[in-house]
Amino acid sequence: MKKILLLIITSFAINLNAQMVTCTELFISEYIEGPAQNNAIEIYNPTNSSINLGGYTINRYSNGASSGPESWQLGGVIASGQAIAVGNGQLDSIDLGTYWSVPVDPVFFSLLDYHCNGDYNTNSTFYFNGNDAMTLEKSGNIIDIFGKVGEDPGNAWTDDATAGYTDANGGTWWTKRQTLVRKSSVKKGVITNPILFNPTLEYDSLPDATYSGMGSHTCDCISIGTSIDENAISYVMYPNPANIGSTVTINSNAKIESIDVVNILGEKVFTQISNKILTTNLARGTYIINIRFTDGRIINNKLIIE
């Protein structure tokens, strides 16, 4: 009877999510919770168009929290059929009082499209550890959920249905020390907080410290017959908005030649010959960033200085 009830509840949770149209919005395509702080969330664009990442955030609801998440603002553009990996950029050991937080693996770090600065006290979004729910949100609205917001499963969510997929009965950990890849048949995110989070439904589990697939994803939304421009530019710009004195970094799948910073009057403020914008001499306000690539293409993005 208990198993039948669990199946009914799980089916109900899936049906609630059926109202979201497939292949029309970004979703989480890979979850990495590795050794040390090797944590990342991969975002995939299943649509036929490039999507501006302004307004999108990755959020961490720690240890069963249901409100007040730690939030990471995304910025830039993700092209159709492409994925970006955003994760922890801690490059030095940090004393957190009760333990030492060790640096991320250089191989893992090299595969990130963008990363936090590794300061836990400034932003701890990418310090999840297997029992934290993660969400992808657009303008404050959830468009995908990993885990269950408001539930602390113990050490991790598991494959144990009898324990509601928590580790109460010692089930196999699925969300701690694992790399989980969204099944290619999944074409949309989870927008309704699940009654039960069964990670085996939509994810395939890979061994701990598997990073080779970061930054690419296979999805049935993009069929063989669909025309996808493999040369389309995806880039991530962070932070945006930025504070005066901070450094804005732009990472792209194409090589950047130079960056022009233009004010709202259309006047060029300066040109940067690198992928970093130093904001020390910028006044508060809105700027247009013209990014020139070595192949001659130019794209632009808005930058807000606070």
Q: What is the pLDDT of residues 183-235, one digit of tens each?
A: 999 999 999 999 999 999 999 999 999 999 999 999 999 864 444 566 788 88
Max Cα–Cα distance, the chain, nearest Å: 71
Please state the domain count of the chain.
Answer: 2
Mark whether 164 and 103 lie in a shared domain: yes
187: in domain: yes
Last residue of a domain, one of 162, 181, 206: 206
Mark whether 166 and 269 lie in a shared domain: no
Average of pLDDT values for 257-261? 92
219: in domain: no
The reported pLDDT for the residue numbered 17 is: 53
103: in domain: yes
pLDDT over 50 at 7, yes or no: no
This prediction has a pTM of: 0.83
149: in domain: yes
Average of pLDDT values for 74-92? 93
Minimal CA–CA distance to 81: which of 195, 218, 213, 199?
218
Kindly report which listed range (35-44, 78-87, 97-106, 173-182) carries the lowest average pLDDT score.
Answer: 97-106
CATH code of 88's domain: 2.60.40.1260
Backbone angles phi, psi at 5, to 5 degrees: -65, -40
120: in domain: yes
pLDDT over 80 at 106, yes or no: yes
pLDDT over 50 at 9, yes or no: no
* Dihedral sign computed on CA atoms, order 176, 181, 185, 188: positive
- Number of Cβ within 10 Å of residue 263's Cβ equals 14
The reported pLDDT for the residue numbered 224 is: 46
The reported pLDDT for the residue numbered 104 is: 94
The label of the residue with tokens 């029309």 reads 24
Mark whether 105 and 252 lie in a shared domain: no
pLDDT-based confidence at residue 14 (cuts at 50, 70, 90): very low
The reported pLDDT for the residue numbered 230 is: 65
Domain range for 280 is 239-305
The reported pLDDT for the residue numbered 244 is: 92
Mark whether 187 and 105 lie in a shared domain: yes
Strand order in the sheet with 56-61: 70-73, 56-61, 133-138, 141-146
Kindly report which listed range (14-18, 32-36, 96-100, 202-206) carries the lowest average pLDDT score.
Answer: 14-18
> What rounded mean pLDDT belongs to the chain?
89
The reported pLDDT for the residue numbered 264 is: 81
Percent of the chain with pLDDT over 90: 65
Kindly report which listed range (95-109, 194-208, 281-295) carries the lowest average pLDDT score.
Answer: 95-109
Mark whether 33 and 173 lie in a shared domain: yes
Contact present, 92 and 103 (Cβ < 8 Å): yes
13: in domain: yes
Mark whether 23 and 153 lie in a shared domain: yes
The reported pLDDT for the residue numbered 183 is: 96
218: in domain: no
- Number of Cβ within 10 Å of residue 120's Cβ equals 16
Mark whether 144 and 278 lie in a shared domain: no
List b or e across 174-203, with b for residues whose CB sees 16 or more CB atoms inside 10 angstroms. Answer: bbbbbbbbbbeebbbbbbebbebbbbbebb
Mark whether 257 and 184 lie in a shared domain: no
The reported pLDDT for the residue numbered 2 is: 43
pLDDT over 70 at 1, yes or no: no
The reported pLDDT for the residue numbered 94 is: 78
The reported pLDDT for the residue numbered 298 is: 86
Mark whether 171 and 261 lie in a shared domain: no
Last residue of a domain, one of 206, 230, 263: 206
Average of pLDDT values for 256-269? 89
